[in-house]
Structure 1
């Protein structure tokens, strides 16, 4: 008789899916996701660096509470198909568990449909709640920036 071995079913959270319409050309919306300047505005001054090739590194960094430089978010580029698809994985800080983000841009008559899917969370991942709260803020700031040229403080 074979010995019984314990097993565990890995539970995953449902994906976070956000859909917005931005009244701007698709190239401008694309740049809102990938440019250093837009990311600095949306993420309140964070320095954004990205190698926009599959396997390329992504970081958002700036001063920590003690004033010393720190990386807030790290990631890796998975797929890039300008100006319609940007896929990457990211985590909050060095060594964090990473989730996947897929940004899909579809030009329509007078706007671009933006669908952001964030998935790959474990059942007990605390980043799930943070991202569920954070994405609407980020996307609202991006929409406002691209449509008006300015944005707002998130809280």
Structure 2
């Protein structure tokens, strides 16, 4: 990667098990319930993975390779827009660490090698918090959040 790069780290605690959290990240049918996309792969190191918006039409928004896979504790993937698949300078990396934590799970998502100031960096910093909040809601309450929600017009106004 050339130029300035940024990293984004998000940590959340989920009342669940490592197995269920890892499954939520890697099973297409579960990911769709909190992310509105499916994560599709066999999850073996070296395999391709795809973030698919519409499985019938195979609309792939993000793709990459599986770098490490240690179910249910760790998953490392590369991440890129499919139009940039041949340009490693536009690839970033995501690490999911799933750690048992006093009867719950600490999920840490580290997204690094982001080009500073890029559209991808802007999307990541807005996207991961709602996606991971939705994952937590799904596993704890049985229902994910609307990951396409936007702030209310009166957001920030005093009540």
* TM-score scaled by length of structure 1: 0.83
Match of 1:59 among 41, 50, 57: 50
Inter-CA distance 120–28: structure 2 relative to 1 (3 Å threshold): same
The residue aligned with 2:84 is 95
1:110: Cα distance to partner? 2.0
Counterparts of 1:94 and 1:76, CA distance in 2: 15
The residue aligned with 2:131 is 138
* C-alpha RMSD of matched pairs (Å): 2.0
Contact 2:35 2:135 in 1 (8 A): no
Unaligned runs of 5+ in 2: 150-159
Contact 2:64 2:80 in 1 (8 A): yes
Match of 1:121 among 114, 127, 136: 114
The residue aligned with 1:3 is none
Unaligned runs of 5+ in 1: 1-9
The residue aligned with 2:26 is 34
Contact 1:74 1:94 in 2 (8 A): no
Contact 1:79 1:86 in 2 (8 A): yes
CA deviation digits over 1:68-98, x for unaligned, max 9? 6421111110000111100001113332522
CA deviation digits over 1:98-145, x for unaligned, max 9? 210001011011210011100012234220010011000110010000
Inter-CA distance 102–69: structure 2 relative to 1 (3 Å threshold): closer
Moved over 4 A (4+): none
* TM-score scaled by length of structure 2: 0.81
Counterparts of 2:13 and 2:45, CA distance in 1: 27
Structure whose alpha-carbon radius of gyration is higher: 1
Contact 1:71 1:94 in 2 (8 A): no
Contact 1:100 1:119 in 2 (8 A): yes
Inter-CA distance 130–107: structure 2 relative to 1 (3 Å threshold): same
Inter-CA distance 106–122: structure 2 relative to 1 (3 Å threshold): same
